[in-house]
Amino acid sequence: MRYTVADIKLIKKMVNYSNIDDEICLSKSLHKKQPHFCKIIDQVKIDSRCLEAHLFCTLFCSLAIDHAERVTEEDFPSFPEELFHDTAYMVA
């Protein structure tokens, strides 16, 4: 799925205007759909300096997945833990 600049701006705006109920709902959705991804990014929130970035990433990714599933009319599978594990080490 490729996102246009307009898509990304809209998702960013939705994240910026989210409230606590939105944050809880979107976080639960992402944790349900991509638990292995969340396992890795949830480690970041241990550092209080990263809480805001973690929240933004969680909400943005949840909205992006929901948007992609709506556009493609498909449910995306949960990616294997090994894929995220290997990718995380390449990024680090």
Q: What is the pLDDT of residue 88?
A: 65
Could you read off the pLDDT of 12-64 as tens digits, one per residue? 898 889 999 999 999 999 999 999 889 888 888 888 888 888 888 899 999 99
Cβ contact 59:27 at 8 Å: yes
DSSP 49: G
The pTM of this model reads 0.77
CA dist 18 and 47 (Å) reads 22
The mean pLDDT value for 2-11 works out to 88
Residue 20 to residue 55: CA distance in whole angstroms: 11
pLDDT, position 35: 92
